[in-house]
């Protein structure tokens, strides 16, 4: 009988050996991780294509705002961080198995600068905590933010025609943060205008049409256009 | 009998493996529930085809597909179709020339849904932490029919509704059991309060980052059908789009984009691809230069997301042959205002514009090796209850207990 068997029963040897071999083989068949190797605590619980968490969005905004190239691009004039959005950036290295791509966690941060009607598109690598690219884009490609609607309504609320339109209900109107699920009965909503002709006062300006929703529905027959760049308000009756 | 220590160890290791394998399977999907939709077809019975989809709600774009893979048979690999697919812009010009809205440019969110939107009884499941997306499993009617042989098809549909102030835009993505993808936008809710009786257009622009079998190596061809009415013959042509550009749809030519990958072939050696085919009622054209084409092809650039900036993107045309391409499609809804939309009552708009749709189809071409969802599984007819010439008088379970001749009375 082999010496080894004097220490360990035969059945136990084979079970242990088979178990170890099986586990090694099984582990070798497991697919590799898809979150980038530099994954930090932010991305350990989430998959590469899951939406950004609030913490990731905040981090992306902070990293972009602090970046030297971004600061240079947005300048010292009036500007605004408008949006932080999930971005699935394609990895430089392509895996043969499309499901095993090493996709990192990225965010696209959009800034708008009012002088020159320009947008700044910033790609942030959340795992490396670094800005990947800074690209100047057309101003019209930068969406409006809820804060801009608030600013537009604050301007409009000082306009005599708007005050007459809303009357005593003026102070009851609130800018709805639709993204937060807010839908107050008396709410202000906005629609983006991109002017086509140079003679239009809104040409290459940030302009918003304001809509006023009451508990009965939308107030009809009036247009209120706010030019955030020029800080002006145009209110007109459209149906007589 | 208590298990031996080594047996317990083995059991623990096997359990650990199963847990790891489950986690790894999730990782392979690259997104987690509820943003992962893994749907096999048919929904009952052995799998024939499968879609694996990742989605996200995104401000402005609404419901965005962040990955989509199709498996054409149980033994075939998953093939990537989309890296990203989204509604990039919805342009809304009014007939008088003003206003001219860019409805994706405000960052509108998706509206929370309820069981009236997405009834479970109709195959619906509400997804998302904000309950903003409805997943529906639908019978899509006939897949094919041949005399008495027939196969009905199925599809999984994801939709959400963008809260664009007075308007709602229903953004819908349909993934069919035969590999077809449908993208649609439906416009509904209330006419613009300032000019509720003015006709206008809703023009969605889809950005379709199609990556067949990987990022690189894709080419786009402009497919045309040419049939001069002076003769009786017709030809179909495919012309390579070599540089970034816009292309126009011609209803007389059945214009379509043919997207192929240089390495993706079926078992018959034919290049596999997808055809981008409009589903439309007209062609919207406006002063704005981004409305002058129905199709655009650009090279992938993560900073190029805005459909209304397409003329800028192609102004210095890059090569798009055998490259990482993005296809764009521009459709239009002509909203001719009607009394059915509503009316002004005491200065307030009252009424709802019913949904109008526009969209496109992405249809597989030589992706399968032969007809999908075929042959039909035939169920043998049940054996007769009684011998020929007899009828059943009394059943016992699912068999006849008393058979009598057709012309005899039952006992």
pTM: 0.84
The CATH number assigned to the domain holding A206 equals 3.10.450
Distance (Å) from the C-alpha of residue B3 to the closest C-alpha of chain A? 12
Chain B residues within 8 A of A135 when measuring between CB atoms: 303
Q: Name which CATH class applies to B32-372.
A: mainly beta
What does pLDDT average to over chain B?
A: 91
Domain boundary among A111, A141, A171: A141
Q: Do B195 and A238 touch (CB under 8 A)?
A: yes
* For residue A225, pLDDT beyond 80: yes
* B28–chain A Cβ distance below 8 A for any pair: yes
The residue-averaged pLDDT of B254-272 equals 97
pLDDT at A33: 38
**How does pLDDT run across A123-176, given as a tens digit for each residue?**
999 999 999 999 999 998 899 988 999 999 999 999 999 999 999 999 999 998
Compute and round to an integer the Cα radius of gyration of chain A.
28
**Span A10-32, mean pLDDT?**
45
In a domain, A96, yes or no: yes
pLDDT band at A99 (very low <50, low <70, confident <90, very high): low
Residue A93 — very low, low, confident or very high, per pLDDT cuts 50/70/90? low
Q: Which of residues 375-404 of B touch A (CB under 8 A)?
A: none
Q: What is the pLDDT of residue B11?
A: 56
Query: Which residues in chain B are closer than 8 Å to A145, comparing Cβ atoms?
Result: 107
Does residue A25 surpass a pLDDT of 50? Answer: no
List the single best residue of A123, A132, A188, A191 to mutate versus B (max B Cβ within 10 A): A191
Pick A47's closest partner by Cβ from B27, B215, B344: B27
CB contact under 8 A, A141 and B309: yes
Same domain, A134 and A52: yes
Establish if A1 belongs to a structural domain: no
Residue range(s) defining the domain that contains residue A62: 41-141
Put simply, the chain B residues between 224 and 253 with a CB less than 8 A from any chain A CB are none
Chain B residue numbers touching A178 (CB-CB < 8 A): 108-109, 163
Q: Which residue, A120, A141, A162, sits at the end of a domain?
A: A141
User: Is position A231 within any domain?
Assistant: yes
Query: Does A30 map to a domain?
Result: no
Give the per-residue pLDDT at B306. 94
Residue A58 lies in a domain: yes
Other C-beta atoms closer than 10 Å to the C-beta of A188 total 22
Q: Which of A141, A176, A207 delimits the end of a domain?
A: A141
From the CA of A46, how many Å to the nearest CA of chain B? 7
Q: In this structure, are A45 and A136 located in the same domain? A: yes
Residues A96 and A186 in one domain: no
Number of structural domains (chain A) is 2
The pLDDT tens digits for B194-216 are 999 999 999 999 999 999 988 99
Tokens of A70: 């971004």
Instruction: State whether B130 and A100 contact (CB < 8 Å).
Output: no
pLDDT for the residue A5: 33
């Amino acid at each position: 009988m082999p010496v080894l068997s004097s220490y360990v029963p035969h059945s136990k040897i084979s079970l242990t050996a088979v178990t170890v071999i099986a586990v090694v083989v099984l582990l070798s068949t497991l697919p590799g991780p898809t979150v980038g190797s530099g994954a930090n605590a932010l991305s350990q619980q989430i998959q590469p294509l899951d939406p950004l968490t609030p913490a990731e969005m905040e981090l992306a905004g902070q990293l972009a705002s602090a970046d030297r190239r971004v600061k240079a691009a947005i300048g010292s004039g009036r500007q605004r961080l408008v949006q932080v959005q999930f971005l699935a950036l394609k990895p430089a290295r392509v895996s043969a198995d499309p499901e095993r791509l090493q996709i990192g966690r990225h965010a696209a941060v959009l800034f708008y600068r009012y002088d020159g009607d320009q947008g700044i598109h910033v790609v942030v690598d959340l795992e490396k905590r670094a800005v990947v690219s800074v690209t100047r884009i057309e101003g019209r490609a930068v969406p409006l933010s809820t804060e801009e609607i608030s600013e537009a309504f604050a301007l409009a609320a000082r306009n005599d025609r708007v005050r007459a339109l809303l009357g005593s209900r003026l102070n009851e109107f609130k800018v709805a943060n639709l993204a937060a699920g807010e839908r107050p009965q008396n709410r202000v909503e906005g629609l983006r205008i991109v002017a086509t002709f140079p003679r239009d006062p809104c040409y290459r300006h940030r302009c918003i049409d304001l809509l006023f929703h009451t508990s009965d529905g939308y107030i009809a027959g009036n247009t209120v256009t706010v030019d955030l760049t020029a800080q002006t308000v145009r209110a007109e009756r459209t149906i007589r | 009998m208590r298990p031996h220590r080594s047996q317990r160890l083995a059991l623990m290791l096997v359990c650990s493996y199963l847990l790891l394998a489950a986690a790894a399977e999730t990782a392979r999907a690259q997104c987690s529930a509820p943003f992962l939709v893994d749907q096999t077809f048919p929904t009952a019975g052995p799998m024939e085809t499968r879609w694996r989809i990742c989605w996200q709600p995104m401000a402005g774009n609404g419901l965005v597909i962040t990955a989509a893979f199709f498996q054409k048979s149980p033994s075939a690999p998953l093939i990537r179709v989309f890296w990203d697919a989204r509604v990039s812009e919805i342009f809304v010009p009014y007939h008088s020339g003003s206003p001219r809205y860019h409805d994706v440019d405000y960052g509108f969110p998706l509206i929370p849904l309820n069981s009236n939107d997405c009834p479970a009884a109709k195959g619906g499941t509400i997804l998302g932490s904000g309950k903003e997306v409805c997943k529906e499993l639908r019978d899509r009617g006939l897949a094919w029919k041949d005399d008495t042989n027939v196969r009905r098809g199925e599809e999984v549909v994801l939709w959400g509704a963008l809260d664009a102030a007075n308007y709602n835009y229903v953004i819908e993505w349909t993934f069919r059991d035969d590999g077809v993808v449908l993208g649609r936008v439906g416009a509904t809710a209330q006419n613009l309060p300032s000019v509720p009786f003015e006709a206008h257009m809703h023009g969605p622009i889809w950005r379709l980052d199609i990556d067949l079998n990987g990022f690189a190596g894709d080419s786009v061809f402009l497919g045309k059908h040419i049939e001069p009415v002076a003769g009786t013959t017709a030809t179909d042509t495919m012309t390579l789009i070599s540089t970034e550009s816009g292309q126009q749809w011609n209803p007389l030519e059945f214009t379509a984009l043919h997207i192929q990958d240089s390495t993706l072939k079926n078992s018959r050696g034919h290049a596999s691809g997808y055809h981008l085919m409009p589903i439309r009622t007209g062609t919207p054209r406006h002063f704005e230069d981004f409305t002058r084409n129905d199709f655009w092809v650009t090279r992938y650039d993560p900073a190029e997301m805005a459909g209304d900036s397409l003329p800028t993107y192609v102004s210095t045309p890059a090569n798009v042959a055998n490259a990482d391409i993005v296809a764009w499609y521009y459709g239009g809804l002509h909203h001719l205002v009607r009394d059915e939309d509503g009316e002004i009552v005491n200065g307030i708009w009252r009424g709802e514009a019913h949904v109008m749709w526009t969209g496109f189809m992405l249809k597989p071409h030589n992706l399968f090796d032969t007809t999908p969802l075929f042959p039909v599984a035939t169920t043998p007819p049940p054996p007769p209850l009684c011998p020929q010439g007899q009828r059943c008088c009394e059943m016992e379970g699912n068999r006849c207990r008393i058979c009598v001749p057709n012309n005899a009375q039952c006992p």
